[in-house]
A = this chain, B = another copy of it.
Amino acid sequence: MAADLERALQSVSDGVREIVLDSPFARALAPDHLRDATLLYPASGGKHLRSALLLWSCGALGGDPQAALPAAAAVELYHTWTLAHDDIIDRDDLRRGGPSLHAAFRERAAELDAADPAHYGLSVAILAGDVQHAWAIELLAGLADRGPDPALVLRLVRDLEGPVLRAIAEGETRDLQFAHQPVEAVSEDDILAMIACKTGALFAFAAAAGGAVARGALDEDPQVAALRDFGRLAAIAFQLRDDVLGITGAEEQLGKPIGSDIREGKRTTILRRAWIHASPDEREVLSRALGRHDADPAAAAAATEVLLRLGGVEHTEALARDHLHRALQRLDALPAGRHRDLLHALAAAMMDRSR
């Protein structure tokens, strides 16, 4: 299955990249910096997990994935705008093995002799995220050209820009606010609810949208509902695994700096678990790096060692496996076949990864 999954994912990537990079929308973007910024993440690869989820969910309910391709490209672009703005908020200078958007255009500010390169980079990244957001909607609305009923397409647009967007923004805001609260004030349920919003909502939408294109309706279809649950639960497993990699992964594999989650003060289930079992001395070690953007590598490494020693990573791995298990159970509601197998393999691979 692994080789089959890889081939199928490659085919999704190729289809999405073709729609995005060859589009009239991209060609019409000006000036150069705005076009380059808007295309930086879409052109740089990415795993296209959300696109695959949408297309295979469509196939699993008997639809034609080809007809759903604009929607698959739309969820991918929707994801990239949240990355562009999130990287500003989290001050992440690395993304996908290269500079994040605001960091890349901080460098290119030199071409304009800009007085404040950091502010120029931030400005271009805000605007490019806004363009990606609009582009995603433009693509989703264009789905009607491939057959789906305009009323269903409007329903998908309203779902994405209503409840899904609210969940993403709520999750982002809570994530930001949690970092300013005492570690013990944020419960594990708070963290899991935040992840369900910030990461789960868009995965759930992608799966449900694929199913809806196949069925011609979004609501009141139990198999579409099963796909939505599957997407949400697999996304939570994915994010928990991501938090683990944020602690144990290597910079070159992750494409982002080691210790950045700790320096940003991110409230993960890893940190929470370790904190409640930590001695005063161990809390002191954690506090020297936690939420400190200027923490040196030694302080970040010492904090990481405490997180590992006190079982924070182990506990979060178990939580992730539990969510994956529940996600896979939901697939039982779908007809057996190649696309259901691909969804199964995709969710398993989202957990079993090193980047």
Pair B158/A138 contact, Cβ less than 8 Å:
yes
Kindly state the separation between the CA atoms of A104 and B32 in the bound complex, as whole angstroms: 33
Pair B34/A170 contact, Cβ less than 8 Å:
yes
Kindly state the separation between the CA atoms of A85 and B114 in the bound complex, as whole angstroms: 19
How many copies the complex holds: the figure is: 2
Q: Decide yes or no whether A222 CB sits under 8 A from chain B.
A: no
- Give the residues from 162 to 209 in chain A that come closer than 8 angstroms, CB to CB, to chain B: 162-163, 165-166, 169-170, 172-174, 176-177, 180-181
Contact A120:B150 (CB < 8 A) given known A127-B169, A170-B29: no
Q: Decide yes or no whether A62 CB sits under 8 A from chain B.
A: no
| Chain B residues whose CB sits within 8 angstroms of the CB of A34 once the complex forms | 169-170, 173
The number of chain A residues touching the other chain, given as a range, is 35 or more
- The smallest beta-carbon distance between A332 and chain B, in angstroms, is 32
The stretch of A128-136, A233-241, A301-309 in contact with B is A128-136
Q: Decide yes or no whether A161 CB sits under 8 A from chain B.
A: yes
Pair A177/B88 contact, Cβ less than 8 Å:
no
Q: Decide yes or no whether A291 CB sits under 8 A from chain B.
A: yes
Kindly state the separation between the CA atoms of A314 and B208 in the bound complex, as whole angstroms: 58
- Give the residues from 108 to 159 in chain A that come closer than 8 angstroms, CB to CB, to chain B: 112-115, 119-120, 122-124, 126-127, 129-131, 133-135, 137-138, 141-142, 144, 149-151, 153-154, 157-158
Kindly state the separation between the CA atoms of A30 and B158 in the bound complex, as whole angstroms: 18
Q: When the two chains form the complex, which single residue of B29, B133, B150 contacts A133, counting CB atoms closer than 8 Å?
A: B133
Kindly state the separation between the CA atoms of A68 and B250 in the bound complex, as whole angstroms: 54
Kindly state the separation between the CA atoms of A298 and B133 in the bound complex, as whole angstroms: 42
| Chain B residues whose CB sits within 8 angstroms of the CB of A277 once the complex forms | none
| Chain B residues whose CB sits within 8 angstroms of the CB of A31 once the complex forms | 170, 173-174, 177
| Chain B residues whose CB sits within 8 angstroms of the CB of A144 once the complex forms | 151, 154
Pair A133/B130 contact, Cβ less than 8 Å:
yes
- Most interface-central of A133, A149, A157, A163 (chain B CB within 10 A): A157
Q: When the two chains form the complex, which single residue of B89, B129, B137 contacts A161, counting CB atoms closer than 8 Å?
A: B137
Q: When the two chains form the complex, which single residue of B123, B127, B150, B181 contacts A112, counting CB atoms closer than 8 Å?
A: B181
Kindly state the separation between the CA atoms of A135 and B126 in the bound complex, as whole angstroms: 18
Pair B33/A173 contact, Cβ less than 8 Å:
yes
Kindly state the separation between the CA atoms of A154 and B157 in the bound complex, as whole angstroms: 9
| Chain B residues whose CB sits within 8 angstroms of the CB of A3 once the complex forms | none
- The smallest beta-carbon distance between A13 and chain B, in angstroms, is 24
- The smallest beta-carbon distance between A329 and chain B, in angstroms, is 29
Chain B residue at minimal CB-CB distance from A265 = B115
Given contacts A31-B174, A88-B122, A115-B180, 17 further A-B contacts (CB under 8 A): A25-B162, A25-B166, A29-B166, A30-B166, A81-B130, A85-B127, A89-B123, A112-B180, A127-B172, A131-B166, A133-B133, A134-B166, A135-B162, A137-B157, A138-B157, A153-B154, A157-B157
- A sample of 7 cross-chain residue pairs with beta-carbon separation below 8 angstroms, ordered by A number, consists of A25-B166, A28-B166, A29-B166, A29-B169, A126-B126, A141-B154, A144-B154
6 residue pairs, one from A and one from B, having the closest CB atoms: A134-B165, A150-B150, A134-B161, A112-B180, A138-B161, A89-B123
